[in-house]
Amino acid sequence: MAQVKFESHAERVEERIPFQTLVHEMLEQLGEDPKREGLRQTPARVEASLKWLTRGYGMNVDEVIGDALFEEKHESMICVRDIEIYSMCEHHMLPFFGRAHVAYLPNGRIVGLSKIPRVLEVFARRLQVQERLTDQVADALCDVLKPLGVGVVVEAYHLCMMMRGVEKQNSKTVTSALRGAFRDDGKTRDEFLRLVHGGSFAL
């Protein structure tokens, strides 16, 4: 019986076409001349840019939070509002950007405030859809903090709707993820939404 050889992941990686070669080919497919002055360094720039924009694949929540968890008996809602986000739509690989509002109701433990935007970065800096991004942030904070509840609202503009397709310039997409008391208790949910919508969001 013939033996079937299975390639390892490392072997497959070694056989991949270099990133810059793919960009060079893409430019040719678009009808451009990759050798002209303005495009000579474009493959290298595109590689560096996309790796930066998707650096979240190399990050994880535990590492970005580190030891910034503190035992604290604070019993009121903690909300970090108007966190700028930039991400890439996985359907068209075009950016979407906007702001996120994140709150949690602690259960004996709090996290350093700067870590909340960092958790957002872990998931935003990937190929994404806004709906999943919103859920991932909420679930990650639930896992780490074990709070009484978490609320996340993301408001974003999508270039895949603005510069192509329907070309609607003023459409803003709003998604929410509510966990625990934010979902089950009307007063907690109302307080969160009042905090979130207490100001305006403009470009």
Catalytic residue among 20, 32, 121, 160: 160
Catalytic residue among 79, 92, 121, 142: 92
Catalytic residue among 24, 136, 158, 191: 158
Stated as kind and residue range, the H or E segment containing 179 is strand 173-180
**106, 145 Cβ separation under 8 angstroms:** yes
Catalytic residue among 24, 101, 128, 130: 130
Other CB atoms within 10 A of residue 172 CB? 13
Instruction: Give yes or no: 130 in active site.
Output: yes
Instruction: Give yes or no: 101 in active site.
Output: no
Question: How do beta strands 109-111 and 127-128 pair?
Answer: unpaired
Structure tokens at 103: 């709150």
Catalytic residue among 75, 90, 131, 197: 90
Catalytic residue among 89, 101, 136, 191: 89
Instruction: Give yes or no: 9 in active site.
Output: no
Instruction: Give yes or no: 90 in active site.
Output: yes
Catalytic residue among 72, 75, 91, 131: 91
Q: Which residues pair with 103 in a beta bridge?
A: 79, 151
**137, 118 Cβ separation under 8 angstroms:** no
Instruction: Give yes or no: 15 in active site.
Output: no
Instruction: Give yes or no: 92 in active site.
Output: yes
Instruction: Give yes or no: 158 in active site.
Output: yes
Q: Active-site residues: which are they?
A: 89-92, 130, 158, 160
